[in-house]
Amino acid sequence: MNMSVSSSTGNLLARSQVRWRLCWENELALADHTELAEFFRKAYGPNGEFNAAPFEGSRSWSGARPELRIIAYDSNGVAGHAGILRRFIKVGETDLLVAEIGLYAVRRDVEGHGVTYQGALRVGYPVLQKLDAPFGFAAVRPAMRKHIERIGRNGMANILTGVRVRSTRRDVYLNVPPTLVEEALLVVLPIGRPMSEWPSGTMIDRNGPEL
């Protein structure tokens, strides 16, 4: 499943058209993984060497590996990315199937010019509806609040605060616990069920590494 949607809005995009690609993980070639790995190293590297470390070589994922990717391209290559993975999480005491959305990044020179979190979700939403998961779910660090506020304002998703998320670390280290608990902003997209059926709870267990 390779699909593309073109966009040419904004001053920057008027000069350089953006193409969105939706693809399953097994549709990516080695060249795709290599290009994405370089993109992630450049996107996450300015926030610390540790953040770029998972993407050495041609590794194009951080913790859990996505099953579906939303990739934006322009004339300079990869401009943005979001990954999707269906998984069961535990919200409070309730097990819940979700389509988790993560591994989000935007190339710095196109930030605010159409390649946004909201844009990625709009492109991916028709596919999310076909995945048979009742909710889309993303745990976003508080520093990304400005990137996701617009999604909540336009009614596309709900932003929840005051929630902690527990994940396994992507590797096992002898000097730290095998799990990590983080404060997060939750982005919840009602897909097959209304928001009123999202379980209550201030702790979410991924029972696996973050996407």
DSSP-assigned states of every residue in 96-137: EEEEEEEEEEE-GGGTTTT-SHHHHHHHHHHHHTTTT-SEEE
pLDDT tens over the chain, length 211 residues: 544 343 433 333 334 588 999 999 999 999 999 999 999 999 988 776 678 889 999 999 999 999 999 999 999 999 999 999 999 999 999 999 999 999 999 998 887 666 787 888 888 889 999 999 999 999 988 777 776 777 766 677 888 988 999 999 988 889 999 999 999 889 999 999 999 999 999 999 999 999 9
Provide the pLDDT for residue 53: 87
List the structure tokens of 94: 């309730």
Provide the pLDDT for residue 142: 77
Cα distances (angstroms) measured from residue 122 to each of 5, 48, 76, 204, 211: 11, 30, 22, 25, 19
pTM of the model: 0.86
HSE-up (13 A, CA, CB side) for residue 173: 8
List the structure tokens of 196: 């009123």
Cα distances (angstroms) measured from residue 189 to each of 49, 69, 98, 145, 206: 32, 17, 10, 16, 17
Contact 106, 60 (CB under 8 A): no
Residue tagged 């909201």 (tokens): 118
The H or E element containing residue 32 is: helix 30-44
Provide the pLDDT for residue 49: 60
Provide the pLDDT for residue 143: 73
Question: Could you write out the DSSP letters of every residue in 136-162?
Answer: EEEEE-GGGHHHHHHHHHTTSSEEEEE
Provide the pLDDT for residue 11: 37
Residue tagged 């990954």 (tokens): 83
**Beta-bridge mates of residue 21:** 4, 71
